[in-house]
Structure 1
Amino acid sequence: MRSDPVRLFQTLPHACGYYAERTAQNLVLDPAAPQLDKIYGSALEHGFRRAGGHLYFPHCPQCRACTPCRIDVEKFAPDRSQRRCLKRNADLSLIEVTPGYNHERHALYRDYLQSRHAGGGMDEADASDFRRFLTAPWSPTVFLELRLGERLLGVAVTDICPNGVSAVYTFFDPAEAARGLGTFAILQQVELARRRGLAWVYLGFWIAGHPKMDYKRRFRPLQVRRADGWHETRDSEE
């Protein structure tokens, strides 16, 4: 059975979240389309990303810095630094929970944004901002909570699709930055995909050389999506 076509929109130019001197535009699948849950996996395969209830792809006229990337779960093995991260966080519990808002998660989210994105417009996120950005009624989302005893240290917002896991967003206690909880969360998402027999962990967009995005190249082998499909990165690209 053929599904109905989904309209594709282009946003107006807006400030780039990565380069202050640039503007950005996105292609967005119609957020009102009733079959977004069914096409989500295919959208990931084509390089799209979920933010709240939107599936989008950067489409900036003068820039192609944002490159979709994913981890090959079968081939991936943690490097020495990532093994140290696993050891450093061996005292944490990982709990898979139903996604959604509560006061504990929101307090952690607010603290993280105020530490990492102060003055950027996200740092005063209220309950509706939390729900709107991290969840969607149609998305196959779980929250992976990272806890030290009863204390919540981090949350990895994770979508589980038929073809892979999408690492949507991770937020954590800024006082625990030395633990490398962002790296630890990705390593746990790789293990989640492995347990479920899924081939890929989608990491969103890689920007070569960008201080906030270049960390993704350390999860090797990393695949990036070019105009002709997915390719494993080469040392010369990194």
Structure 2
Amino acid sequence: TLPYTKITTPPIRDFSLWERTGLKNFLKTTKQSFDMGVNAQYKKNKDSYTIPFPLGAIYDILNPNLNNLHGHFEKGRGMTFNFLTKSYNEAKVEFEKYKVEASLNKLPRTLRIPGYYIPGLNIEVSPFTAELPAFGYMIPKEMSTPGFTIPGIGFSVPSYTLVLPFLQFPVLHVPRSLQKLTLPSIKIPRPENHILIPAMGNLTFDFSFKSSVITLNTNAGLYNQSDIVAHFKSSSFSVIDAL
């Protein structure tokens, strides 16, 4: 029975791999061994094909939009900074009102992305570093319970004012460097007006099987010469005439 399921497999008894899989046709006894080898190899071709494609025209269209991206980022950066500053000031008022000390996370709050290079496209991206704002999980809120009197016995319960933590995500720290944060510089060279496609290489495949009953060797290959050429060769030897 398979765990966590109700699937039950039927029992298997008196099952012979020797009889059912046909091994008795290749091996003389159940204690006999055989050798089998498989080898596949691909050899890369240094040649390539050139396909005309207007990559330069696409670059001329996208490059101005890339420059406009920095302007949109600066606009969004200012709106984000104002929003975080407003949230920080509101949280600061609540913490100071109830004399609650906000504990900042002691872990590093700096995001660092190293510069990298995209091969093939020849795109270079500079490193990027940004100090992240710190957020909390709780903010103090004042809550008052109503007072009431039980008629007849004159028992009364006064009103109580409690300061309880409420689940929110107040901003506890706004990095000043956020005002000067910029996107990493991206260098994209103007590409050529063609695409290079590597030519197909040579693919070979070898298979061998050897036992005391039969020996089988098979070789196949696909070669890129002046034209695509396929080769196939197979040979066998057996002590049994039927094989």
TM-score between the two structures when normalised by the length of structure 2: 0.21
Q: Which has the higher contact order (CA 8 A, sep 6+)?
A: 2
Greater helix fraction, Structure 1 or Structure 2: 1
Greater strand fraction, Structure 1 or Structure 2: 2
